[in-house]
Chain A
Amino acid sequence: MSFKTKDVVLSQTRPTTLLLQKHADYLASYGLNKDDFEYCMTEYLRMSGIYWSLTAMELMDQSSRMPKDDIIEFISLCQDSESGGISASNGHDPHMLYTLSAVQVLAMYDRSDAINIDGVVKFVVSLQQDDGSFFGDKWGEVDTRFSFCAVMTLSLLHRLDAINVNRAVDFVLSCMNFDGGFGSKPGSESHAGLIYCCVGTLSICKRMDALKVDELAWWLCERQLPSGGLNGRPEKLPDLCYSWWVMASLSMLNRIHWVDQEKLEQYILACQDSETGGFSDRPGDITDPFHTLFGLAGLSLLGNSSIKQVNPTYCMPQETIDRLRLEPQILLI
């Protein structure tokens, strides 16, 4: 019988301890180096870049190294006065993804007053469709990612009542597959990232009861490979960001202990670059702020005590979620 598995092998010389200070230094310089080719290339997603870096810095308790005033001013500049939505960077078009990132950053800074909140609410409301789904922007792409962005954005502003929550939930449930997982649209293949979005939506809307919990949790556990890392779909390679999405989903389902946490921790630590700092998708690859956040957040879920507690639904520090008095649902076993 063939047992071939797509996976990686962790090398003997991999990092096995958390290189916290390296990561903080990496992020502190990354965001601001305008001489960096990367900086220019990433203009179209700068707002999310700020969210990844700031959240990671918050989790390491070093966010004072980020240029707070500049960031807040930048966000104000990126709000479109007409639609109310927020764009990735000044002069770009507003989009759900970057509206969420901006609102998350302002929530961490406790500075939601820096934008026109009614404008953001208007923008999100305008993107909800009759079937409960959400567009990402005016061009009309539907995806369960955007459902999650919508409810997360509004809940952070305490304005979830502005949309039709029942319909939003119904749409997400219509994307549930025969294996208990979720995809981007009805009928699309189950995918760990989209499962995270859908479970997260149900967590915020407090409708986790609608899940096929055991089936889904088992599908998620099946994502763990012998290396300890998790993949996003069957027969795909492990990836640190998928590891986060699977772990966060399992945490909301209160079943993270079903995976081998020790091996998972080894995998995450192996994704660190001991020279440059930061985490990559797989051991030995180039690091970036996106995987760095998910590496740190993952270790936090596994209980690493030198990182602040992360909230699995929001991927933000638990202290921020507590300050906002938000209580996303976590299933009781």
Chain B
Amino acid sequence: MSDCGDSDAGWIFYKDRPDWNDIKPVPEDDGITPVVVIAHSEKFEDVYDYFRAILQKDEKSQRALELTKDAVELNSANYTVWQYRRELLKELGTDLRSELDYVESVIKISPKNYQVWHHRRVLVEWLQDPSQELDLTAEALLHDPKNYHAWQHRQWAIKSFRLYDKEIEFVDSLLSDDVRNNSAWNQRYFVHNNHTGWSDMNVQREICYTLEKIKFVKNNESAWNYLRGILLHDKRGINGNGVVTAFCEELYKNRCRSPFLLAFIIDVCEEAIKKNETNGFHNVERAKELCTALATKYDKIREKYWMYLRDRFEMYVCVNGENSQ
């Protein structure tokens, strides 16, 4: 049923189908007294009245399987329809390969629906065959690179069936399309964290990669967050990596005032203060100055947050002052 206009013209109501005349339709009964009863959509009502009837009878038949298709088409978010469909598939021993094709076609129409993706996952588990999942999710992500359902499904398949090999390439291609794609950055972390690991060399390589991307677009929340995430695995911490701090100071010197850069330098200052490693660039005064700049000029909408941080640095001064006495 691709063109709804044409296909609806040839539609025969279940109540008019001879092969269904043994079934008595069951209207919705939710106990709430109706105020007005007028037919909303005759087709919808017809299909679901018959669906309720077979559910009540617990009929496991081919015609029931066909009926669930019509029910899904009218509302693919109805979880009971999908559950019943799975029970039918099991009971009838239906060819699960054709079911994979079917659910793929539904995913294409409703890519943001929990039920369809869950159905897909159950099928892949039953078949123990993940060979189509990377292509399927890549296709969905082509249309919506941040589709949470598609990413979840992809991560599940990769983790369950160890499909890590080409994932970084895939992430690369998404990031070259849109360097601000937070989902892709998250996926990058996922691959390293679960597969590649955080060897020193890998950490340094990731840092270089990220700095390159930041050089390209400075005001990119996702890349800066990723940089922090990577530095969690650098023994020298957020303030100890000379490449990173030099990079930041270079940007600053070249008049970049992206709030993310300033926020990052503040974090570097904070860690330097905590570790007693302050220097001319990273110290309480600099941190306070940056907080003020963010609050009053570069990120005014979060003024309260930056002033809170500024006050906290004020307190470091007090504490340090007491310590030194």
Q: A40-B41, A178-B225 are in contact. Are A188 and B151 (CB under 8 A)?
A: yes
Complex contact A187–B222 (CB within 8 A): no
The answer to whether B50 has its CB under 8 Å from any CB of chain A is no
Distance A214 CA – B68 CA, assembled complex (angstroms) = 49
Q: Tell me if B301 and A260 are in contact (CB < 8 A).
A: yes
Q: In the complex, which residues of chain A have a beta carbon less than 8 angstroms from the beta carbon of B55?
A: 91
- Separation of A191 and B186 alpha carbons in the complex (Å): 11
Separation of A235 and B178 alpha carbons in the complex (Å): 11
**B146 on the A face (CB < 8 A):** yes
Which residue from B26, B41, B228 sits with its C-beta under 8 Å from A37?
B41
B75 & A178 in contact (Cβ 8 Å cutoff): no
Chain B positions 65-110 with a Cβ under 8 Å from a chain A Cβ: 75, 77-80, 83, 86
B159 contacts A187, C-beta separation under 8 Å: yes
Binds A, one of B3-11, B168-176, B213-221, B272-280: B213-221
Contacts of A37 in B (CB 8 A): 40-41, 44
Interface residues of A in 56-86 (CB under 8 A from B): 67, 70-71, 73-74, 77
Report if A184 contacts B (CB, 8 A). yes
| Interface set, chain A 228-268, CB cutoff 8 A to B | 233-236, 255, 257-260, 263
- CB of B260 to closest CB in A, whole Å: 9
Determine if B271 is an interface residue (Cβ-Cβ < 8 Å).
Answer: no
Contact B32 A139 (CB under 8 A): no
A325 within 8 A of partner (CB): no
* Docked CA distance A45–B30 (Å): 12
- Choose one: B36, B44, B152, B222; the contact of A188 (CB below 8 Å): B152
Q: How many residues of B contact A (CB 8 A)?
A: 67
Question: Knowing A32-B32, A40-B41 touch, does A234 contact B186 (C-beta < 8 A)?
Answer: no
Shortest Cβ distance from B44 into chain A, in angstroms?
Answer: 6
Interface SS of chain B: helix
B186 neighbours in A (Cβ, 8 Å)? 177, 183, 187-190
**Residue A161 interfacial (CB < 8 Å):** no
CA distance A217 to B263 in the complex (A): 14
State which of B151, B219, B228, B302 has its C-beta within 8 Å of the C-beta of A178: B228
Chain A contact residues: over half helix, strand or loop, or mixed? Answer: loop
**How many Å from the CB of A180 to the closest CB on chain B?**
9
A178 in contact with B229 (CB, 8 Å): yes
**Which chain A positions have C-beta within 8 A of B189?**
177-178, 187
Number of interface residues of A (CB under 8 A): 62
Contact of B222 among A141, A185, A235 (CB under 8 A): A235
Interface: B308 (CB within 8 A)? yes
Do residues B302 and A221 form an inter-chain contact, with CB atoms below 8 A?
A: yes
With A and B bound together, what is the CA distance between A204 and B229 in angstroms? 28
Q: Mark B243-279, 1 if CB is under 8 A from A, else 0.
A: 0000000000000101000010000000000000000
A35/B301 in contact, CB under 8 A: no
CA distance A189 to B37 in the complex (A): 45
CB contacts (< 8 Å) of B40 on chain A: these are 34-37, 39-40
Cβ contacts under 8 Å, B146 to chain A: 233, 235-236
Contact between A89 and B30 (Cβ–Cβ < 8 Å)?
Answer: yes
- B31 adjacent to A74 (CB under 8 Å): yes
Lowest 5 A-B CB distances belong to which pairs? A178-B229, A35-B38, A189-B186, A258-B305, A44-B78
22 inter-chain pairs at a CB distance below 8 angstroms, sorted by A residue, are A1-B218, A1-B258, A3-B219, A34-B34, A39-B40, A40-B44, A44-B80, A74-B31, A77-B31, A139-B83, A141-B114, A141-B118, A187-B186, A187-B189, A189-B148, A189-B151, A189-B187, A191-B148, A224-B302, A233-B182, A234-B182, A255-B305
* Extra contacts besides A139-B86, A184-B152 (20): CB < 8 Å: A2-B217, A2-B219, A3-B219, A32-B34, A34-B35, A35-B37, A40-B28, A40-B45, A44-B77, A46-B30, A91-B56, A91-B80, A93-B80, A177-B186, A189-B151, A234-B222, A234-B225, A235-B181, A236-B146, A263-B301
